[in-house]
Structure 1
C-alpha cells in the first residue's frame, strides 16, 4: 500500500534540484553529498513510476512529470518558508521594515509616528528612506509605501489605500498672492510655477482635471524632490502643486493656502508587499494607513 505522502527529505531534494537545475547545486545548498541527492530523487521516481529529470549538459532538465511535481512542490515550500519566516519574526521581535520615499517620510509618516505608536503599540517599525522603494535594485523591505500610478509593479502584492488628490498651494507670504486671489484660477497661466522633476505629470494632471489646457502653464524653478518643492512654497518662492495629505498640516497651521482645493488623479497611495509574503502586521498597517488617509480627506 502506497504512502499518502512521499519522504519530505526527498521532496526537499527534488525542489532544490528543480529550482537550481543541478544535482550538485542542490547538494551544496542542502549541505549533503551529490549521491544523497541522487538517492532521494530515485525514491520519488520509484514511487511515481516515472522519471523526473533527464540529463542536459552538466545539469538536468525536468520531464513533463517533473514539471507537474515542481509546480506543486514549489508552491508548498514557498508557503512553508513564508510561514516559518513569519513565526521567527514574531518570536525574535524583528522590526517591520517600511520602505518609503523621503518626501512622504518627512511630510506625512514622521508627523504621524506618535499616533502610529499609540494605535499599534506592538509594532516595531523601522523606516527605510528609498526614493523608489518598489525598484528591484533595493533591499527588500517588509512593505513599501508609495504614491504611484498603475500598472502596479510585477512581483508585489498591492493594497490600494486611497486615491491621490492634488492641488496648487502657496504661502501667505508670496508676493503675488493678492493678484492670484483677485483674478482666480486663470491667473496661474501667468505664473512661473514651481515644479518637481520626480512628478512632472502633476501640474498637467491637475490642469486637465480643472478643464485648463496644460499648454497654457509656464514653469519656473524645478526641484529634484517633492520635499524641496514644498519647502520652497512655504518660503514664499511661488505656487507649487502637492498631494493633499502632504500639506494638510501646513494648511492647518496657516503656513500654506490651497485657494482652489484639490482634485483627484489616476494615481493612488499604495502599500505593497513582496510576492506572496504572509505577515499579520501587514493587515494592521493597511487598516491604519487607510484610516489616516481617510482622516486627512475630511480635513
Structure 2
C-alpha cells in the first residue's frame, strides 16, 4: 500500500454505515444491498488495511480502537461530501424553501402577506407546511419555521421576531363600551390551548381586569382559535385571541378590542437549519419577517 492509496470507497461507505448504525442489517437497508454484501465489503476493507476495524458478535457490532480512528475520519469525510452535494443542489435550485408553522399563523397572518414576499423575493419558491407540533428542520424537508414559545430551540438558528399578547375582541356591532357589557354578551372560549402558559383564558382575564359577577364557565366553546375568531367576527360573542393573529381583522374593522387589559403571550421566532442562515434568500426572508412583525 503506497502513501497515496485509500481503501475502496464502497468498502469505506459500508464501514461508515455499519459503524454508525451498529448493525450489518441496518447498514444494508440504508445502502440498498444485502447484509452479506456489507460483510464482504468490511472483510475487504480489513484485508486491505491489514487490521481489524470491527468486533462482531451474533447480536452486536462495535468498533475496535483502530476502527474508531477510521470511523472518525470517514464520518468527517462523508459528512463534508453530503454538505457539498447539498450546496451544489441548492446552487442549481437556490430559491426553493419550505417553511413550517401552525395552521393559525399561516392562515391568519402569513397567507394574506404572500404577495409581499413575492415582491421582495420574486424568484423564491416558498412552500408552506402546516403543523401544530414542532417539526424537525432537515435538508429536503423543512428549511425554516416560525416557532412560538420562549426558546431557546435546540439544533436551529433562532431569531426573535415579536412578543405576542392576548385580549378580548368582538364585532363592532355588539357595541361593547365598558366591562359591564360583558354580562350581556356571550363569551367564546378556546379549549385545548397549550401555549402560552399560564393560559390566556376568561377566568384569568376577568380576575386580572377586576371583573366579577360573570360566569366564565359558560358560553360558546371551540377547539380552534380560528373558529373562535370567525364566530367573533360574525357577532356571536367576544373571545380572547392573539393580537398578532387578529391584527388584520382589527385593522379592517371586522373586530375591535374594547378593553385595554391584555394578557402576555408567547414569542414568535424565525428559525432555520444550521448553516443556511447566511444564505441570501434566507436572510432576506428573515429580515422581511422582522420588519413585518414589528
TM-score when normalising by structure 2: 0.75
Indicate the residue corresponding to 1:161 in structure 2: 161
On the 8 A contact 1:166/1:206 being kept in 2, the answer is no
The 8 Å contact of residues 161 and 268 in structure 2, kept in 1 or not, is answered as: yes
Contact 1:198 1:226 survives alignment (8 Å) = no
Match of residue 106 from structure 1: 107
Who is 2:255 aligned against?
256
1:126 aligned residue: 127
Equivalent residue of 1:218, what SS?
coil
Alignment of 1:56-205 (within 5 A): 56-63=57-64, 66-67=67-68, 70=71, 73-74=74-75, 77-92=78-93, 95-134=96-135, 140-150=141-151, 152=153, 156-174=156-174, 177-178=175-176, 181-183=177-179, 192-199=186-193, 201-203=199-201
Aligned residues of 2:179 and 2:211 also touching (Cα < 8 A): no
Contact 2:8 2:45 (C-alpha < 8 Å) held by counterparts? no
- How far residue 55 of structure 1 moved from its aligned partner, in angstroms, is 0.7
Q: 3-state DSSP class of the match of 2:88?
A: helix
Q: Write the distance in 2 (CA, Å) between the matches of 1:159 and 1:16.
A: 35
Matches of 2:135 and 2:258, distance apart in 1: 34
Matched position secondary structure for 2:244: helix
| Greater helix content | 1
Question: How many angstroms apart in 2 are the aligned matches of 1:156 and 1:217?
Answer: 44
Root-mean-square deviation (CA), in Å? Answer: 4.0
| TM-score of the pair, normalised by structure 1 | 0.74
Query: Does structure 2 retain, via aligned residues, the 8 Å contact 1:194–1:239?
Result: yes
How many correspondences in the alignment? Answer: 280
For 1:38, the equivalent position in structure 2 comes to 43
Distance between the aligned counterparts of 2:103 and 2:258, measured in 1?
26
Q: Give the distance between the partners of 1:98 and 1:81, measured in 2 at CA.
A: 22
Q: Deviations over 1:241-293 (max 9, x none)?
A: 1222212222222111113347463521123445x464634333222212211
